[in-house]
Amino acid sequence: MKKLLFFVVLILSIPMAYSETEIKPFTEWKEVCTIKGDGINMRKGPSTSDPTLGYISFGIPEEDGCYIPDLQWSDTKGKAGKFINEQLYTGSNAIVNGKTAGWVNLIYTHPSGNHSVWVSDKFASINPISPLAPGIFNKEENENLDMNLGILPGGRVIYYVDNEMEADYSIYLGSITEDGKGVFNKKIDARFQARPQQNDVSINKEDDTLVIYVGKPFLNMFDEEYGNISLNKFTPVIFDNMLKIATPVEKNIVVIASPEGGFLAI
């Protein structure tokens, strides 16, 4: 009997392997967190003893834009190399996925995928999500957002991703939900190109690549020759014409307004 009891105690003393907290559906997202503090670790659970989120360094410079490491938890086994913590800094924004005493659960977005992470609430400033609406970003300090997010009449929204280094361009089309989130379920693999010499928006094919030329009425002009695309100047008719050639996405992209005046895309 004593031997059996000793055996049971050994089993109970083995550390538990916690799984990452499940990310809730976007319909349940209500708040956004802004980080207050630098070098904040992200953990798998609400405890300072839980594993941290980071990556294995193999001596390749991550900051040069050519190498983006996959994130993993510090308790992951089987890879050689030095583990480096991924960290949050002042002004970082993330969607709130849950809360518990002293901790807040956030959705951390990264090129290698999204993660549900826990951060001490002493580093968190939490605010309700602001609904997307025409004119919400019409401030001088946010004029660059005009090239990436367009909020049109009738609840239409356009989200443009232009990764010039990777020659990766995507135009996402969607609508605004009742609680003010932008949900994108259609996509065009194409790039926008400003063309002040024309007065409309036209869809063209160049060397098997779709290019959408954007005329002067839909640009923010620097001078008579050069201008930046203003998605917020697009009309519902332009949107509907692009929708005709769009295809369904594998997974919806959700965009919400952030407290800092920008937006988060997940």
Q: Can you say whether the dihedral through the CA atoms of 134, 137, 143, 146 is positive or negative?
A: negative
Which residue bears the tokens 């995507």?
Answer: 170
**Among 75-79, 136-140, 160-164, whose mean pLDDT is lowest?**
136-140
Same domain, 106 and 214: no
Euclidean distance between CA atoms 156 and 241, whole angstroms: 13
Same domain, 59 and 146: no
Residue 248's alpha-carbon distances to 125, 148, 172, 186, 263, in angstroms, are 36, 20, 10, 4, 23
Say which amino acid occupies 89.
Y
Element (H, E) at 204: strand 201-206
Euclidean distance between CA atoms 54 and 70, whole angstroms: 8
Sorting pLDDT into bands at 50, 70 and 90, what band is 7? very low
Euclidean distance between CA atoms 30 and 104, whole angstroms: 13
227 SS3 class: strand
Q: What digits encode the pLDDT tens for the residues 94-136?
A: 999 999 999 999 999 988 889 999 999 999 999 999 899 887 7
Residue 220 within any structural domain of the chain:
yes
Same domain, 158 and 256: yes
169-176 mean pLDDT: 95
Q: Is the pLDDT of residue 54 over 70?
A: yes
The domain boundary, picked from 108, 128, 148, lies at: 128
Q: Is the pLDDT of residue 212 over 70?
A: yes
* Higher per-residue confidence, 226 vs 115: 115
Sorting pLDDT into bands at 50, 70 and 90, what band is 78? low
Residues spanned by the domain of 245: 140-265
Sorting pLDDT into bands at 50, 70 and 90, what band is 167? low
Q: Is the pLDDT of residue 138 over 90?
A: no
67-72 mean pLDDT: 80
Same domain, 98 and 186: no
238 SS3 class: helix
Residue 163's alpha-carbon distances to 26, 42, 142, 152, in angstroms, are 25, 27, 19, 24
Element (H, E) at 11: helix 2-12
Residue 206's alpha-carbon distances to 173, 195, 203, 209, 213, in angstroms, are 22, 15, 10, 5, 11
Domain CATH code at residue 108: 2.30.30.40
Same domain, 70 and 151: no
Same domain, 152 and 256: yes
Question: In this predicted structure, what is the pLDDT of residue 66?
Answer: 57
Residue 1 within any structural domain of the chain:
no
The full 3-state SS of 123-170, as one line of letters, equals HEEEEECCCCCCCCCCCHHHHHHHHCEEEEHHHEEEEEEEECCCCEEE
